[in-house]
Amino acid sequence: MLIVDLVQSIVDGLLFGATYALIGIGFTLVFGVMHKINMAYAAASVGGAYLALRVIALIGGPAWTSLFIAALAGGLFGLLIYWLCFRFIPLSNPLATLMSTVGMFLLVDEIIVHTTDGMPQNYPVVVSGILDFGEFMIRGDLVFVFLCALLAMVVLLYLLYRTKLGMATRAVSQQPVAAQLVGIRLDHINALTFIITGMLGGFAGALIGSAVGLLSPLLVVPLTIKGLIVTVIGGLGSIPGAIIAGLMVGMAENVFQYFRGVTERDIYVMLLLFVFLVFRPGGIFSSTAKRD
Partner 1 sequence: MTILRLLAGSAVVAIAVAATSVSATAQEREVKLSGFGAMSGVVRSFGVNSKAALEAAADEINKAGGVKLGDGTKGKLVIDYFDDRCNAEEGISVARRIASSSALVGIGPTCSNVAEPLFGILQKKVGDAGDSGLQFPIFTDVAIKIGLAKISEWAFRNVPDEGAMYSSLFQWLKKTRPELKSVFGGVEEDFAHSRASWYAVMKEVAAKEGFEIKGEAKWLLADTNFTNQAREARRAEADIIAISAHPFTTCGMLKEMARQGVKPKLVIGLTSSSSLETLQGCAGEAEAIIIPTSFAPVTPEAQAAAANAAKFKGSLDLHSGASYEVIKILKDVIESEGVVAKPDTLQADRAKIRNGLAKLTETKGLIGVSKRTPEGEAVKPFLFVHAKAGKWEVLHNPTN
Least separation in angstroms between residue 28's CB and partner 1 is 22
- Tell the burial category of 116 from Cβ atoms under 10 Å away from its Cβ (0-12, 13-18, 19+): middle
Of 178 and 221, which has the nearer Cβ to partner 1? Answer: 221
Of 91 and 106, which has the nearer Cβ to partner 1? Answer: 106
Least separation in angstroms between residue 164's CB and partner 1 is 39
Of 110 and 187, which has the nearer Cβ to partner 1? Answer: 110
- The DSSP element (H or E) to which 214 belongs, if any, is strand 214-215
Q: Is 234 helix (H, G, I), strand (E, B) or coil?
A: helix
Least separation in angstroms between residue 44's CB and partner 1 is 18
Least separation in angstroms between residue 128's CB and partner 1 is 7
Q: Where do contacts with partner 1 occur on this chain (CB under 8 A)?
A: 5, 8-9, 12, 16, 110, 113-114, 117-122, 128, 130, 137, 139, 141, 208, 211-214, 216-219, 221-222, 253-254, 257-258, 261-263
Amino acid, single-letter form, for residue 37: I
Q: Is 57 helix (H, G, I), strand (E, B) or coil?
A: helix
Q: Is 24 helix (H, G, I), strand (E, B) or coil?
A: helix
Of 24 and 78, which has the nearer Cβ to partner 1? Answer: 24
Amino acid, single-letter form, for residue 64: W
Of 18 and 168, which has the nearer Cβ to partner 1? Answer: 18
How many CB atoms neighbour CB 203 within 10 A?
A: 29
DSSP summary character for residue 127: S
> Within 13 Å, how many C-alpha atoms sit on residue 122's CB side?
4
Least separation in angstroms between residue 239's CB and partner 1 is 24
